């Protein structure tokens, strides 16, 4: 099992460009999440999907959109990138969060720089 995979690993964008970060999990998990991590800071939740067909905002959703394409895949889109979105982006999944005992499994991250 690959676990949680993310593409691309690195990306450089110019201000105003758009892009989509891809995430897939092969663990048959119901819930998926997108976080960002800025230098020296903890992770902040951008959006999450409790189950296929649903998405909800996290702490810092402005400037982002998400799509839960199917049970396996959860993408994050930046419509008009800004330098403030320079960060490392992590995708995660969990069997379900309704039962708090389930752990989150994280991908390796995408390092995004917006110039």
Partner 1 sequence: DAKTTQPNSMESNEEEPVHLPCNHSTISGTDYIHWYRQLPSQGPEYVIHGLTSNVNNRMASLAIAEDRKSSTLILHRATLRDAAVYYCILISSGTYKYIFGTGTRLKVLA
Interface residues with partner 1 (CB under 8 A) are 4, 31, 33, 35, 40-45, 48, 50, 56, 58-59, 90, 92, 97-98, 100-101, 103-109
Smallest gap from residue 54 Cβ to partner 1 (A): 10
CB closer to partner 1 out of 17 and 106: 106
41's CB contacts (< 8 A; 6+ apart) are none
CA 69-39-88 angle, 5° bins: 20
Strand partners, 73: 24
CB closer to partner 1 out of 13 and 33: 33
CB closer to partner 1 out of 34 and 81: 34
Smallest gap from residue 64 Cβ to partner 1 (A): 16
How many CB atoms within 10 Å of residue 46?
Answer: 24
CA 105-7-81 angle, 5° bins: 110
Smallest gap from residue 107 Cβ to partner 1 (A): 6
CB closer to partner 1 out of 81 and 91: 91
How many CB atoms within 10 Å of residue 54?
Answer: 11
Strand partners, 101: none
Smallest gap from residue 90 Cβ to partner 1 (A): 5
């Amino acid at each position: 099992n690959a676990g949680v995979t993310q593409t691309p690993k690195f990306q450089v964008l110019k201000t105003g460009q758009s892009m989509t970060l891809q995430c897939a999990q092969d663990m048959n998990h119901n819930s998926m999440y997108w976080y960002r991590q800025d230098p020296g800071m903890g992770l902040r939740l951008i959006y999450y999907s409790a189950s296929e067909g649903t998405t909800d905002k996290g702490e810092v959703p402005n400037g982002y959109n998400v799509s839960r394409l199917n049970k396996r895949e959860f993408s994050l889109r930046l419509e008009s990138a800004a330098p403030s979105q320079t960060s490392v982006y992590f995708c995660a999944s969990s069997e379900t969060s309704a039962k708090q005992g389930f752990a989150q499994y994280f991908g390796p991250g995408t390092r995004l720089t917006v110039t």
